């Protein structure tokens, strides 16, 4: 029979649930959940400030399973702790987030226990993990959010926010570059509310870590400015307790706890190879493992009497008490600090302040115009004053991306001074993306910026934001060969297309200053999708909206900007960004020749494709097959709008190093070339 020791009984229940689930699914990673069960149990049961009955309580501690392949460790904890499901309205439903039936259907279609933890799919999961290193990097964003929110909302006698963040990582997380970027940033910012737990089991899929990894991890993290402590045996609960208490008591430094473990269930055995390779152990190995734990060998998915009660008396009782105290404090806070309480509530529910839209500026017609990045700077600084929890920064490029908040009181987020709204990520695009995800998951509204060409460096984090459906904002400038003399390494060609390929991500490339303003309006109202705002370095003419259509058409992704004075159009000219003005110029020339052309500004393919067919047909009449698209990027994808016989003017090679006007001439981005393409389209259909 199972041991009578309640702690060991709970730990072995976690282990055997993982073994049985992976075996039944015939897929998964059993070894790490088995090895790390004591570590996760000690943290959850004795230290984590988390209420299973309200897993979205704002001041809860966060637990991130960075090594997402060990997902059964987390699913077992969620089930045994009795974590409740939460609906999209942030209401607890009274039912378990993870049932025993869900565990029995691990890795099966529609189970709440998919192969890797998925945010929004299973309550109690703080972030989607899977790609190694993403979880620990995202945890840095969560820790930053806690520090910023404390500075913003806490008042004497009202410590509303101050949660800690724990992330469980493995050798793979430590090898990935993103974790090193994030650890460097966390040490620089002195995030003493952050604790990473490193499962030092010295084995990866290919075998021993000695094959490719010989870092002195402790020394590396000390160099980053971290506190480093070690637990020599993952099964030593007393030593784990001391390590967690040390982490909580250490000021001005994040903590790395290095835990030495043996993957699997005990002494070295052939199960090590299976567990490391993400394979089921097999029935015989499972029997041996259960025998090692003193477990009934033929029992499957056994939760012995007393296990759930043990969790309820530990994390359950502690979490309920802490949450109840916080709720009472918040009620008093609403009386003493009503404006701050309203902001905190709105932020947590992804709502915006009343009247925030009144801050959005409009821009007068101007033939010289503004660069997209300059217009965005004006809009951003206006709306940020109206939305106090809009914070962000750049990967060391704010002077170029124009994303610095310059109004009085904006300040800088720095070590020991956590109330500033300007963040400095350093030259760490990948970590920046993950930090933005962590901020957004904590309900702060974050933006991050860089050159469009460097979106490649942050793409994995952008993709995860789309998977999680969180409203992260990316501001990418220097959007085309318009970068000029910097040359091909800095001139994006395929990047717009690659971002458009990410499901759930909205890309917007505005054509003038007022489209930029409308883009910010659309983006800030989005609650469940990330967005990329793609901006020019060079000036764009600001269109006379008394002559051309209102920029509010941007909200529908595409709209008719300019049309022939009378009669149906003969040819459609489609463009985004800086090329819209090019099409307007061509439209005027064609009009002088008596050709009826229509200019369609199509800044967001994603928003346009969501419109009903009737609207899309009014913008792009099916009867008009003479079509020309113009965009300083890859032409791939434009056939969906211009058809198989339409003409796409764009980039089919990389760019070149030269002044802007020379590049425009070389690659055909001139009004005359657009006019010629339009004539050719008309001739082919004559």
Name the H helices within 546-659: 579-592, 605-609, 613-619, 639-642
Pairing, β 92-96 against β 84-86: antiparallel
Specify whether the CB–CB gap between 137 and 165 falls below 8 A.
Answer: no
Closest by CA to 540, choosing from 370, 361, 365, 362, is 370
Give the closest residue to 607 by CA, choosing from 473, 483, 500. 500
Whether residue 571 contacts residue 479, with contact meaning beta carbons closer than 8 Å, is answered with no
3-state helix, strand and coil shares in percent for the chain, rounded to the nearest 5: 45, 15, 40
- Phi then psi for residue 506, to 5 deg, are -100, 125
Q: Give the tokens for residue 321.
A: 């008490």
In this structure, are residues 257 and 195 in contact, taking their beta carbons and an 8 Å threshold?
yes
Report the DSSP beta bridge partners of residue 647.
Answer: 628
Q: How far apart are CA 182 and CA 364, in angstroms?
A: 43
C-alpha distances in Å from residue 300, one per residue of 2, 72, 100, 308, 480 = 13, 15, 11, 17, 59
Q: Are 31 and 37 in contact (CB under 8 A)?
A: no
Query: Residue 504 — φ and ψ, nearest 5°?
Result: 85, -5
> Encoding tokens for residue 647?
């003409």
Residue entry with tokens 């091909």: 488
Q: Is 299 a catalytic residue?
A: no
- Interacting residues of 295 by C-beta distance below 8 A, sequence separation 6+: 2, 12, 16, 289, 302
199 neighbors 98 (Cβ within 8 angstroms): no
> Which tokens go with 175?
């090898």
Measured distance CA(326)–CA(346) in Å, rounded: 17
Task: Round the CA-based radius of gyration of the chain to a whole number and report it.
Answer: 28
Distance CA 115, CA 67 (A): 12
| Burial (Cβ within 10 Å: 0-12, 13-18, ≥19) of residue 399 | exposed
Task: For residue 26, count other CB atoms closer than 10 A to its CB.
Answer: 9
What the block records as the tokens of 158 is 């009202």
CA distance 349 to 347: 5
State the Cα–Cα distance between residues 400 and 403, nearest whole angstrom. 8
Name residue, tokens 């701050």. 340
Q: How far apart are CA 451 and CA 465, in angstroms?
A: 19
DSSP H or E run through 423: strand 422-424
d(CA 320, CA 312): 10
Catalytic residue among 126, 279, 429, 570: 429
Identify which of 214, 22, 199 has the alpha carbon closest to the alpha carbon of residue 107. 22
Distance CA 194, CA 141 (A): 10
Please tell me whether residue 554 adopts helix, strand or coil conformation. helix
State the DSSP string of 282-304.
-HHHHHHHHHHHT--TT--S---
Q: Count the neighbouring beta carbons within 10 Å of the beta carbon of residue 99.
A: 16
Q: Which residues are catalytic?
A: 429
């Amino acid at each position: 029979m199972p041991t009578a020791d309640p702690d060991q009984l709970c730990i072995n229940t976690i282990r055997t649930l993982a073994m049985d689930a992976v075996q039944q699914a015939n897929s998964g990673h059993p070894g790490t959940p088995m090895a790390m069960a004591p570590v996760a149990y000690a943290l959850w049961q004795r230290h984590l400030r988390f209420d299973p009955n309200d897993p979205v309580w704002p001041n809860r501690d966060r637990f991130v399973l960075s090594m997402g392949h060990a997902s059964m460790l987390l699913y077992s904890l969620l089930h045994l702790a009795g974590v409740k499901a939460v609906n999209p309205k942030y209401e607890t439903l009274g039912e378990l987030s993870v049932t025993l039936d869900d565990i029995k259907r691990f890795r099966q279609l529609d189970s709440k226990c998919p192969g890797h933890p998925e945010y929004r799919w299973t309550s109690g999961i703080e972030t989607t993990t899977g790609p190694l290193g993403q979880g620990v990097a995202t945890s840095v964003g969560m820790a930053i959010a806690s520090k910023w929110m404390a500075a913003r909302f806490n008042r004497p006698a009202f410590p509303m926010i101050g949660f800690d963040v724990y992330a469980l990582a493995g050798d793979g997380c430590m090898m990935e570059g993103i974790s090193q970027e994030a650890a460097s940033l966390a040490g620089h910012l002195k995030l003493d509310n952050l604790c990473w737990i490193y499962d030092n089991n010295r084995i990866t899929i290919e075998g021993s870590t000695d094959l490719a990894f010989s870092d002195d991890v402790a020394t590396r993290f000390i160099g980053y400015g971290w506190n480093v402590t070690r637990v020599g045996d993952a099964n030593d609960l007393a030593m784990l307790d001391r390590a967690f208490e040390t982490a909580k008591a250490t000021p001005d430094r994040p903590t790395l706890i290095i835990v030495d473990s043996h993957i699997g269930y005990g002494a070295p055995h052939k199960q090590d190879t299976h567990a490391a390779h993400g394979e089921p152990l097999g029935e015989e190995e499972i029997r041996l493992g259960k025998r090692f734990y003193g477990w009934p060998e033929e029992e499957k998915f056994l939760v012995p009497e007393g296990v759930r009660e043990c969790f309820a008396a530990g994390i359950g009782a502690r979490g309920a008490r802490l949450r109840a105290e916080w709720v009472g404090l918040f009620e008093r806070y609403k009386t003493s600090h009503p404006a701050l309480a309203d902001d905190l509530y709105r932020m947590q529910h992804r709502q915006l302040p009343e009247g925030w839209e009144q801050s959005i500026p409009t821009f007068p017609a101007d033939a010289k115009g503004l660069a997209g990045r300059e217009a965005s700077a004006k809009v951003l600084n206006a709306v940020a004053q109206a939305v106090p929890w809009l914070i962000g920064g750049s990967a060391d490029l704010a002077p170029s991306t124009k994303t610095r908040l310059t109004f009085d009181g904006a300040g800088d987020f720095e070590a020991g001074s956590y109330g500033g709204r300007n963040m400095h990520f350093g030259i760490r695009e990948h970590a920046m993306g993950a930090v933005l995800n962590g901020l957004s998951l904590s309900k702060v509204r974050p933006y991050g910026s860089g050159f469009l060409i460097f979106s490649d460096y942050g793409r994995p984090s952008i993709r995860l934001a789309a998977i999680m459906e969180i409203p992260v904002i990316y501001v990418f400038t220097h959007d085309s060969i318009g970068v000029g003399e910097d040359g091909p390494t800095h001139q994006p060609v395929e990047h717009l297309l690659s971002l458009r390929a990410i499901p759930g991500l909205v890309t917007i490339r505005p054509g003038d200053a007022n489209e930029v303003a409308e883009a910010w309006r659309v983006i800030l109202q989005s609650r469940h999708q990330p967005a990329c705002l793609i901006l020019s370095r060079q000036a764009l003419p600001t269109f006379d909206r008394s002559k051309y259509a209102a920029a509010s058409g941007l909200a529908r992704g595409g709209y008719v900007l300019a049309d022939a004075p009378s009669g149906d159009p003969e040819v459609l000219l489609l463009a985004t960004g800086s090329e819209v003005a090019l099409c307007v110029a061509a439209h005027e020339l064609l009009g002088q020749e008596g050709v009826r052309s229509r200019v369609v500004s199509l800044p967001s393919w994603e928003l346009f494709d969501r419109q009903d067919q009737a609207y899309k047909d009014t913008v792009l009449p099916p009867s008009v097959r003479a079509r020309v698209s113009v965009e300083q990027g890859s032409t791939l994808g434009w056939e969906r709008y211009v058809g198989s016989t339409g003409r796409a003017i764009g980039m089919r090679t990389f760019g070149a190093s030269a002044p802007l006007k020379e590049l425009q001439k070389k690659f055909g981005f001139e009004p005359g070339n657009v006019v010629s393409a339009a004539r050719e389209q008309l001739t082919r259909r004559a």
